[in-house]
Amino acid sequence: MTTIYETPTEAMTAVTDGWYNQLASCLNLSTRHFQLLQPAAVPVSDQSLWDCIDVVPPVTLKYNCWIYQQPTFFGQYAAVVNGLSFPESTFIEDIGRETYVQWEAYLRTVTPPPPANELPSVWFQWAIVNAPSVANIGRSDLSVQLLISSAQAVLEPYEGPNAKPASFSPSFSDLKSILRASPGTSFSFDSNRDDPDVSDSWAPGDDPNYFGIWTGSAAAFNISRKFAASKVTVSAQFDHFANITLTPGEWYSSALLHQAWASKSTPPWIDSADWQKFFGDTGSLTHAIGSVLAADSITLTLTSDADFNLAELAVIKGLAAMGDWPIYCPITSPALSNSISTGPGTLSIRFKSEPGNPVILGFNVFDIRSYVSGG
């Protein structure tokens, strides 16, 4: 399909959309979920890895973290948990006050008293004989009470002035181990033969490319316009790459988040308007990251036949450390390098990451319905 872009910004978007489709095709990624991370992230520790992935991703094919100021997934989850409650009064209303009095009397005869996590089953065994018409709803109420109180108790050490860090799996060492055991791949890209059509992706429509040829540059800069209009090729080699499942740490309860999403009423919500606040069409928790695309020991060789003048080439060379299209990875350590060579009508940029330095290239994003339902 040939797509005609009329403005400079759209031209930069077109070449990046072509790269997006080629990357997805060559790495067997679904465009129903895949999201490019711009700039790509190079974590060096557990915390820097978790800072990268602890985010509610925006609804865009290209998540430019310089532009989108997204809330953390942990922060949104914690707000949901603390916005839930299941008061004893609702349990009494559902089973009837007379039945509640009988239930409380029965509990006083049980020695030792049943622990909280056994109350739903103890109730059901008692109610199926003594109050069969409300056995199921009573068990459901007690189960929700237990789910909320347990989630809030588990979350408590991760909040406040001496909070534990919100951990995720994998850890940084696990990420490196997974990549060491993963296969490699090589592929190429040619802007003259690419497919910029992303209309069937999970975030179709206006999805602009906010950077031009280097990190922080505008897509409408004259240098970016020349670059986007030129023949651009990329030769890519990943010694190792993997699509790695992301799992929140011990602070997280998938059952609790599912319960919150599945129930719009009060209870379990303290304020029934909060469901829309988090999960509505314009809510703050409409999507979540299910897995990350990571690669180790990357070599990317980019060429452009744009006719850059000497001044423009000097600018590109001077800003090489900022990182360049298509991954915009800033050169922040000796493990990363950008080398540039030029000639009449030719520009070549070679990006390389040394082995043992994982690069996070993108996320696989799921809408919250799929995320809380397990797929």
- Summarize pLDDT for 112-130 with one digit per residue, the tens: 999 999 999 999 999 999 9
pLDDT at residue 309, as a whole number: 92
Residue scoring higher pLDDT (3 or 58): 58
Task: Check whether 207 has a pLDDT greater than 90.
Answer: no
Rounded to an integer, the average pLDDT of 184-197 is 95
CA distance linking residue 188 with residue 184, whole number of Å: 14
CA distance linking residue 287 with residue 300, whole number of Å: 31
pLDDT at residue 345, as a whole number: 83
Rounded to an integer, the average pLDDT of 92-98 is 97
Model confidence at 82, pLDDT cuts 50, 70, 90, reads very high
Task: Check whether 4 has a pLDDT greater than 50.
Answer: no
pLDDT at residue 232, as a whole number: 97
pLDDT at residue 204, as a whole number: 83
pLDDT at residue 63, as a whole number: 95
CA distance linking residue 237 with residue 217, whole number of Å: 26
Rounded to an integer, the average pLDDT of 178-196 is 96
Contacts of 254 (CB under 8 A, 6+ apart): 372, 374
pLDDT at residue 8, as a whole number: 47
b (16+ CB within 10 A) / e for 289-313: bbbbbbbbbbebbbbbebebeeebb
Q: What percent of the chain has pLDDT over 70?
A: 97
- Summarize pLDDT for 10-26 with one digit per residue, the tens: 889 999 999 999 999 99
- Summarize pLDDT for 136-150 with one digit per residue, the tens: 999 999 999 999 999
CA distance linking residue 360 with residue 279, whole number of Å: 27
CA distance linking residue 255 with residue 151, whole number of Å: 9
Using alpha carbons, list the distances in angstroms from residue 310 to 155, 221, 339, 346.
58, 16, 17, 12
| Model confidence, pTM | 0.93
pLDDT at residue 11, as a whole number: 86
Model confidence at 84, pLDDT cuts 50, 70, 90, reads very high
φ and ψ of 101, to 5 deg = -60, -40
End-to-end CA, the chain: 31
pLDDT at residue 220, as a whole number: 86
Beta strands in the chain (DSSP E): 34-41, 62-64, 168-169, 185-190, 232-245, 247-248, 287-304, 336-343, 346-353, 359-367
CA distance linking residue 32 with residue 370, whole number of Å: 12
Omega before 267 cis (within 30°)? yes
- Summarize pLDDT for 317-355 with one digit per residue, the tens: 999 999 999 999 999 999 999 999 988 888 999 999 999
Contacts of 127 (CB under 8 A, 6+ apart): 95, 99, 103, 134, 135, 138, 139
Report the mean per-residue pLDDT for the chain: 94
Scanning the structure block, which residue is given the tokens 């990451």? 353
Task: Check whether 375 has a pLDDT greater than 80.
Answer: no
Task: Check whether 208 has a pLDDT greater than 90.
Answer: no
Got the DSSP string for 96-112? Answer: -HHHHHHHHHHHTTSSS
- Summarize pLDDT for 260-271 with one digit per residue, the tens: 999 999 999 999
Task: Check whether 170 has a pLDDT greater than 50.
Answer: yes
Rounded to an integer, the average pLDDT of 228-257 is 97
CA distance linking residue 328 with residue 40, whole number of Å: 6
Q: Where are the domains of the chain?
A: 8-60+168-248+287-372, 85-158
Contacts of 234 (CB under 8 A, 6+ apart): 19, 188, 189, 300, 301, 302, 303, 326
pLDDT at residue 9, as a whole number: 56
CA distance linking residue 33 with residue 24, whole number of Å: 10
Q: If 0-12 CB within 10 Å is exposed, 13-18 middle and 19+ buried, where does residue 97 land?
A: exposed
Model confidence at 2, pLDDT cuts 50, 70, 90, reads very low
